[in-house]
Structure 1
Amino acid sequence: MDRQIESAPDATADGLFQAIGRFLFDQRLEPTPVNYGFAYRVLGDPAGPLAYAVATLTDGGVRLTSDEVLTLGERVEAGDVVGRRISPPDRRLSFHAETERQVAGFESIMQGIVHETHAFGRDLAASEDALRKSRETHPDSDLFLTELARITAQMRERVDVAEARLAQATQEASELRRQLARARDDARRDALTGLPNRRAFEEALAVTTGDSCHLAICDVDHFKAINDRYGHPVGDRVLKAIGATLARACEGHLVARYGGEEFTMLLSDVSADEACALLEAARSAVAARRYRLRENDQLIEGITLSAGIVTLRGDESASDALRRADGYLYAAKQAGRDRTVGEFCQGSVEIT
């Protein structure tokens, strides 16, 4: 699928300025001269290599880091656009190759069966003609019985071959179905945490109805500082641990990694108060967990979540619900982080 950054809505300076502002807000980048310049380069050439690299890196809801803003332009100019998300996983390539092999093998088997069936039909017609002539020529001879036995044995052999080929084709088809089922699951699962990914979450959100369902967005506080201090491998392990903690705390509900350090939840068949309490319990479980470095058992302190939560409305789109929840998440960040803010949670602020 072609990845593309949307260009400014019009060619005026005001339109470009607004597009740059939206880009910086969506990526949670500070409005610094460096970031403005980067956004201008991306939006000014939406079909260019830098825009392609940004679109690839942010595919699935992942946000750019400040380090990537500083280095991505140089890497693109040097032809090094591998990045953290640009190269497709080898496992996916391996699956595609295996699927192609399975399909080719299945087609070959079916072609062989068709060929055998046609040949068998021709031989059967010829044998029928030979039997008729033999009986007409030698009505009292054993030649007719001998020919009949020969044809019967030949038919049995052909049937055995056809059955073996059909069994092989059935096995190939079953394996192909298993491969496709795994592919469908992989396409909806985050490779790092094993949780459903953004695609799976948005598909579920699109078909969710009722006023007893609530949408929450959680974001790891100061996650960039964790990556900067301990490195991305440690950051990945922290995200994996947080994902597992949230999934346990919200068992029976949908918990997904939405992208980067963001997690989303659909809390169904509970009241607003129960949903808020459940989210608070999950957030507290993340804060209470002890995260340590494998190398020296050093404690990684201060890992917390901010969260925004809303009740789904029957008359709004999924994107509107996400936007409302994201607004409450932003309010939680502005209020000091390490808290839940929602339209019904105790102590929450009103978002307009």
Structure 2
Amino acid sequence: MVTVICNIIRSEGLGIAMGIITPFPQNRSIEEENARILREVGHFLAAHALRSTPGNYRLAFEQVANPNSPLAKAIEAATFNGVRLLQSEADRLLRETAGDEDDARRPVRPQTEELDLAFRQMEAFARTIEIVRLETEDYGRNLESGAAAIEEVGDVFAKASLLAITSEMLARTRLAETRLAEAEREASALREKLAAAEQDARTDVVTGLLNRRGFDMRWQALERENAAVSIGLCDVDRFKQVNDGHGHEVGDRVLRVIADTLRHFCGGHLVARFGGEEFVVVFEKVRAADAERCLEQARMELERRVLHDRDNGARIGIITFSAGIAEGRAGATPLISQADELLYRAKKKGRNRICRA
């Protein structure tokens, strides 16, 4: 009878999956250890109300996985006696340890790569959690079968002992299932936060369009595909006068008007803020003449409108833009440079016009 229950425990072995049952720590797999680290990293960030950033992940990872490192010891000192680690303090610790020898040899990734890495880690974490959850369910079913088999044993003392062991294991299994469900919810919430952070990193806060970083990522994908495109670079005419005469807040509103106009007339195509008062529109599988018609509609719509400051009624005037359009393969020709040259030509010809190759 003891052999039966021991075989169940050895064959399933899930008691150690989440560190709840400790008799067999030597059997913990790499996946289980990774799940433990990621779970504790999440708990650390939540306990100190820290944002989900690469720097904060590094802090939490050092505290969980490298408790004897200088950074981990500094964290321990800063959080002694239950003190919450403030973001400003976390930033200070990161700055002070930025020159560590190990970090000096570690290549620095762009923020978007850090986000991609975090996404991959969270997806792996979620898969591990799901596997362990399924194993926990199987383990519980086998324990229940073992308990039913023990009921048939005649020895009252042996039956009581084994039933007590089985009941304890079942209770721990149920606890493991509860904690796994909680970990799954935490992983899902963290994925959502990472997705929001990634979107924020690629979005222009003034216009809601893709920013330069977001555009560059999309453009690099088009270059890899060697996609056939027409690209239009648009620059607001005399925009400095708007900022100087009415202030940057009004200037931001004007930029939003232009962004909305381009988005409306170039719907379905990639519209991004290229920088300052410059916008870029990428027309996939569209000839330059057709791209020009879309931009011309947007230019004419703006030209017919007289803008006013909504706060005081002051006349801003008519806002126009100039544009250059180039056509070709994204990966084969310097289309952005060509479009920029054509934009410069439109400016030289008097502004408020579109030039294409």
Fold equivalence (TM over 0.5): yes
Instruction: Find the counterpart in structure 2 of residue 267 from structure 1.
Output: 283
Distance 2:248 2:168 in 1: 68
Question: Could you tell me which amino acid in structure 2 is paired with residue 297 of structure 1?
Answer: G
Instruction: Find the counterpart in structure 2 of residue 192 from structure 1.
Output: 206
Aligned length: 224
Give the percent of matched residue pairs that are identical in Structure 1 and Structure 2: 41
Instruction: Find the counterpart in structure 1 of residue 182 from structure 2.
Output: 168
Instruction: Find the counterpart in structure 1 of residue 236 from structure 2.
Output: 220
- After superposition, the Cα gap between the structure-2 partners of 1:322 and 1:233, relative to the gap in structure 1 and judged at 3 Å, is same
Moved over 6 A (4+): 101-104
Distance 2:342 2:335 in 1: 11
- After superposition, the Cα gap between the structure-2 partners of 1:178 and 1:327, relative to the gap in structure 1 and judged at 3 Å, is same
Which stretch of the first structure deviates more once superposed, 296-305 or 251-260?
296-305
- Deviation at residue 299 of structure 1 after TM alignment: 3.1
Q: For 1:294-330, what per-residue CA distance to the aligned partner results, in whole angstroms no more than 9, with x for missing partners?
A: 212333212100000010236635xx21111110101
Q: For 1:13-37, what per-residue CA distance to the aligned partner results, in whole angstroms no more than 9, with x for missing partners?
A: xxxxxxxxxxxxxxxxxxxxxxxxx
Q: Secondary structure at the match of 2:274?
A: strand
Distance 1:143 1:165 in 2: 33
- After superposition, the Cα gap between the structure-2 partners of 1:149 and 1:313, relative to the gap in structure 1 and judged at 3 Å, is closer
Distance 1:237 1:94 in 2: 30
Question: Could you tell me which amino acid in structure 2 is paired with residue 172 of structure 1?
Answer: E
Q: Secondary structure at the match of 2:329?
A: coil
Matched, 1:327 2:284: no
Q: What are the within-5 Å matches in structure 2 for residues 133-148 of structure 1?
A: 141-148=155-162
Distance 1:220 1:140 in 2: 91
Instruction: Find the counterpart in structure 2 of residue 86 from structure 1.
Output: none
Q: What are the within-5 Å matches in structure 2 for residues 54-69 of structure 1?
A: none
- Deviation at residue 168 of structure 1 after TM alignment: 1.3
- After superposition, the Cα gap between the structure-2 partners of 1:315 and 1:241, relative to the gap in structure 1 and judged at 3 Å, is closer
- After superposition, the Cα gap between the structure-2 partners of 1:212 and 1:276, relative to the gap in structure 1 and judged at 3 Å, is farther
Distance 2:184 2:258 in 1: 43
Report which of the two has the higher share of helix: 2
Q: What are the within-5 Å matches in structure 2 for residues 33-182 of structure 1?
A: 94-96=51-53, 100=57, 141-182=155-196
Q: Secondary structure at the match of 1:207?
A: helix
Q: What are the within-5 Å matches in structure 2 for residues 217-256 of structure 1?
A: 217-256=233-272
- After superposition, the Cα gap between the structure-2 partners of 1:201 and 1:226, relative to the gap in structure 1 and judged at 3 Å, is same
- Deviation at residue 102 of structure 1 after TM alignment: 12
Distance 1:304 1:274 in 2: 20
Q: CA RMSD in A?
A: 3.3
Q: Secondary structure at the match of 1:204?
A: helix
- Deviation at residue 235 of structure 1 after TM alignment: 0.4
Instruction: Find the counterpart in structure 1 of residue 83 from structure 2.
Output: none
- Deviation at residue 271 of structure 1 after TM alignment: 2.6
Question: Could you tell me which amino acid in structure 1 is paired with residue 259 of structure 2?
Answer: G
Q: For 1:205-231, what per-residue CA distance to the aligned partner results, in whole angstroms no more than 9, with x for missing partners?
A: 233256752010000000000000000
Distance 2:310 2:268 in 1: 31
Instruction: Find the counterpart in structure 2 of residue 121 from structure 1.
Output: none
Question: Could you tell me which amino acid in structure 2 is paired with residue 298 of structure 1?
Answer: A
The gaps in structure 2 that reach 5 residues or longer are: 1-49, 66-124, 130-149
- After superposition, the Cα gap between the structure-2 partners of 1:95 and 1:314, relative to the gap in structure 1 and judged at 3 Å, is closer
Given that 2:237 and 2:321 are in contact with CA atoms closer than 8 Å, whether structure 1 keeps it comes out as: yes
Given that 1:102 and 1:176 are in contact with CA atoms closer than 8 Å, whether structure 2 keeps it comes out as: no
Distance 1:303 1:313 in 2: 32
The gaps in structure 1 that reach 5 residues or longer are: 1-92, 114-134, 344-352
- Deviation at residue 248 of structure 1 after TM alignment: 1.0
Given that 2:323 and 2:342 are in contact with CA atoms closer than 8 Å, whether structure 1 keeps it comes out as: yes
Q: For 1:94-114, what per-residue CA distance to the aligned partner results, in whole angstroms no more than 9, with x for missing partners?
A: 55399749977xx79x9xx9x
- After superposition, the Cα gap between the structure-2 partners of 1:101 and 1:297, relative to the gap in structure 1 and judged at 3 Å, is farther
TM-score (norm 2): 0.56
Question: Could you tell me which amino acid in structure 1 is paired with residue 53 of structure 2?
Answer: H
- After superposition, the Cα gap between the structure-2 partners of 1:166 and 1:267, relative to the gap in structure 1 and judged at 3 Å, is same
Q: Secondary structure at the match of 1:196?
A: coil
Question: Could you tell me which amino acid in structure 2 is paired with residue 286 of structure 1?
Answer: L
Distance 2:250 2:241 in 1: 12
Distance 1:102 1:165 in 2: 24
> Which residue of 206, 218, 221 maps to 2:220?
206
Instruction: Find the counterpart in structure 1 of residue 323 from structure 2.
Output: 307
Distance 1:235 1:326 in 2: 23
- After superposition, the Cα gap between the structure-2 partners of 1:185 and 1:140, relative to the gap in structure 1 and judged at 3 Å, is closer
